[in-house]
Amino acid sequence: MMAKQNYVSSTWYQTSSVTGRVSAKHPNFQALPRQPLQITKKQYIEGKEEEVVTVHPRAMFISQEGWTFLAADFCQVELRLLAHLSSDPELLRIFTNPQADVFTMLASQWKGVSEGEVTSEDREHAKRIVYSVVYGAGRERLSGILGVSAEQASRFQDSFLQTYKEVHAFIQRTIQQCHKQGYVLSIMGRRRTLPNINAPDWGIRMQAERQAVNFVVQGSAADLCKMAMIRIFKLVSSSSSHSARLIAQLHDELLYEVEDSQVEQFADLVRSTMESLQHIDHLGVHLKVPLKVAVFSGKSWGSMSELNIPPMSPSLSL
């Protein structure tokens, strides 16, 4: 809806998603694609060719004068949580090098080749397969995503789980615990009850098993993102020198609007706050892998560039 002239406001829901993620409607900002869309404009004049128009939905959103958009994104947060939850040594090893390309290393381990031999297709396959494990996608769905046969997709998944044996053990352990308890927990203790986990119907029971694994990983990612929102809000609201406002939460990404003069300092504050959530003492959260946050800024939501800034000195922190 139009909140005021030149502004569009979405309706945000805290509890409509079963994983605990924040969702949006009317309009759904989270559904706006990152990449430009190509729309074919039909021509009704004989002999005139169809016209292809490129539209970037995010480019229409610009910051107010004197302010800049700043986005902070948890990098590979679900894969990092999977490494933590499973304690798989090969997955954990990937995150020991903060400069490494995570999915290239993943493909290298999975394929048994050097990182230099990993093709872009190998990297993309590894990325899709690991998320199919997290989301519980079956071989038919994965085959459609990868553009391969269902049999080949099944072989990919099997070989992946054979390489990362502790991931498979984590999945089985989570399912068994849910069968016994009737619920699963996120890393911060949020509970999701799954009444169909012991259903006699195989299809319904399998769906509940997928939901159990998915909630533990995705629900934990939602916990981290919400905790980040709370901590950053407290820091900004208690500061007399900072003015920034949260515009949107996009799954693992927070989008802020910041005064131009404060962009670099606020970027470091946001990044350090989000990465510090590796350890949350009062909740007993101590992740085995570091959290990594990438920060982007721009005058338009459709043209954001990554900020590479050194950490600020403690005297400048909030």
Quote the pLDDT of residue 2: 45
Query: What average pLDDT score do residues 202-225 get?
Result: 94
Cβ proximity of 142 and 156 under 8 Å? yes
Q: What is the DSSP string of 129-196?
A: HHHHHHHT--HHHHHHHHTS-HHHHHHHHHHHHHHSHHHHHHHHHHHHHHHHHSEEE-TT--EEE-TT
Quote the pLDDT of residue 1: 42
- In CATH, what class is 67-76+224-316? alpha beta
pTM: 0.86
- Model confidence at 215: pLDDT above 90: yes
Quote the pLDDT of residue 316: 40
- Model confidence at 318: pLDDT above 50: no
Burial of 29: CB neighbours in 10 Å, binned 0-12, 13-18, 19+: buried
Write the pLDDT tens digit of every residue in 108-142.
888 888 888 888 888 888 888 888 877 777 778 88
Quote the pLDDT of residue 120: 87
Which is nearest to 255 in space by CA: 68, 74, 33, 70? 70
How does 274-290 read in b/e, with b if 16+ C-beta sit within 10 Å? bbebbebeeeebebebe
Quote the pLDDT of residue 191: 95
- Model confidence at 43: pLDDT above 80: no
CA 259 to chain centre: 26
- For the chain, which residues make up each domain, given as ranges? 2-60, 67-76+224-316, 79-221
- Model confidence at 41: pLDDT above 90: no
Quote the pLDDT of residue 283: 92
Quote the pLDDT of residue 287: 96
How far, in Å, CA of 315 to CA of 241, rounded? 14
Query: What average pLDDT score do residues 179-202 get?
Result: 95
How does 178-197 read in b/e, with b if 16+ C-beta sit within 10 Å? beeeeebbbbbebebebebb
Which of 46-50, 68-72, 118-122, 191-195 is predicted with the least confidence, judged by mean pLDDT? 46-50
- In CATH, what class is 79-221? mainly alpha
The mean pLDDT value of the chain amounts to 86
How far, in Å, CA of 45 to CA of 138, rounded? 47
Write the pLDDT tens digit of every residue in 55-80.
788 888 888 899 999 999 999 999 99
Which is nearest to 247 in space by CA: 66, 9, 20? 9
**pLDDT: which is higher, 276 or 97:** 276
